[in-house]
Amino acid sequence: MQYRGTYIRVDLSAIAENARALRAAIGPTPHMLAVVKANAYGHGLVPVAKAALSSGADWLGVAIPEEGEALRQSGIQAPILVLGAVNEKGARASVRFGLTQAVFDRERVRYLERAASDLNEMARVHLKCDTGMGRIGVRTREELTGVLKEIERCPHVLLTGAFTHMADADGEEADYSLSQIRKFDEMRALLPEGIICHAAASAAAVRYPQARYQMVRQGISLYGCAPVPGTPPVRPALSWHTEIAYVKTVPAGACVSYGCTWQAERETRVATLPVGYGDGYHRALSGKAQVLIGGRRCPVIGRVCMDQIMADVTALPPEDCQIGAPVVLLGRQGQEEIPAEELAAWAGTISYEMLLAATARVPILYDGETEAE
């Protein structure tokens, strides 16, 4: 049961529109993978996956087997790539749920062979190549050929793809990204023909069309954030809402919130909102952020508390700031908008983290649902 008026709203039609636009933009590239890891960037794993698959994506990308398991249990049968490293238990789950697993060393291949043999299944894998990200992946010809030989020795492991990840595709300089593409091309020359190769995510798909190969991975663009100029028109799918819980007038000289970091310079009308860092509204936003009330921007004053924040609503007409009045923390209200990029800049982080910020006690509502369920 939900009582508080603090919630996330996700517009699945925006996800679908974005997926169609991104699919059209990559032209003849055979496959498009929708990255739905981390609860679909905070938008909801299963609903987003279904919306993307119905609108142009034919693969899904997750970070861990648990996410792939949840997708399978929801009835989704599309190919799912686990992009991250797994331990032996994770390898067994990848095989059990028919996931394609990233591999980059002999040990991971052996995990998958044992699991697939035990389960009488085939383990499908994509070989991860580290061309400059520095996380996981084979880095040299020797490492690559070593993993390929291990796969050949494992009758229950089938290599179906290979990929790399661009470290600076949204950067101003192209040299590093071009060097990664060259390294990947050198590695691809050692791979068997007929497999799916992929390197481009949202930014690289725009800036480096030569890196699209047989598949493009669409992440942040799918959710309506344009990582680079030239991104196909996309619109944000997520908005974050709350309501006014209390309004008071404080005199000049009064302090608001912990540490007395904000002091009224004049008589000020203050609205208290039932949301805080316990909900994922970052404490780093203290004294920097703005919220939308009555279609106008109002500054957040004082420190963000665990469960509450305060906003200066002196400039608003009283009728716009009554108890229960709707407030937008992220998204659009009237003609004003607070995009994820702006909220992130106030917090000193990136839009990805802002989309993921809301904690489990903030419910996600989808098209047609109301906050009073």
pLDDT at 10 over 90: yes
CB count in 10 Å sphere of residue 35? 26
Q: Where are the beta strands (DSSP E) in the chain?
A: 7-10, 31-35, 59-62, 80-82, 100-103, 123-128, 157-163, 196-198, 215-218, 238-243, 246-250, 255-256, 262-263, 268-273, 290-293, 296-301, 309-312, 326-333, 336-338, 364-366
Nearest to 211 by CA among 179, 237, 235, 172: 179
Nearest to 234 by CA among 18, 5, 10, 3: 18
Higher-confidence residue of 211 and 1: namely 211
Q: Enter the tokens of residue 146.
A: 């070593």
pLDDT at 367 over 90: no
Q: What is the reported pLDDT for 373?
A: 47
Q: What is the reported pLDDT for 372?
A: 47
CB 165 within 8 Å of CB 201: yes
3-state secondary structure of 83: coil
CB 83 within 8 Å of CB 106: no
CB count in 10 Å sphere of residue 128? 25
Global confidence as pTM: 0.95
Give the residue-averaged pLDDT of 76-103.
Answer: 98
**From CA 212, how far away is CA 201, in angstroms rounded?**
8
DSSP H/E element including 90: helix 88-96
Q: Which of the four pLDDT bands, split at 50, 70 and 90, describes residue 362?
A: very high
Over residues 237-291, the pLDDT tens digits come to 999 999 999 999 999 999 999 999 999 999 999 999 999 999 999 999 999 999 9
**From CA 219, how far away is CA 99, in angstroms rounded?**
19
Q: Within its chain, how far is the Cα of 368 from the centroid?
A: 23
**From CA 239, how far away is CA 337, in angstroms rounded?**
10
Catalytic residue numbers read 37, 258
**From CA 201, how far away is CA 166, in angstroms rounded?**
8
Over residues 323-361, the pLDDT tens digits come to 999 999 999 999 999 999 999 999 999 999 999 999 999
CB count in 10 Å sphere of residue 115? 23
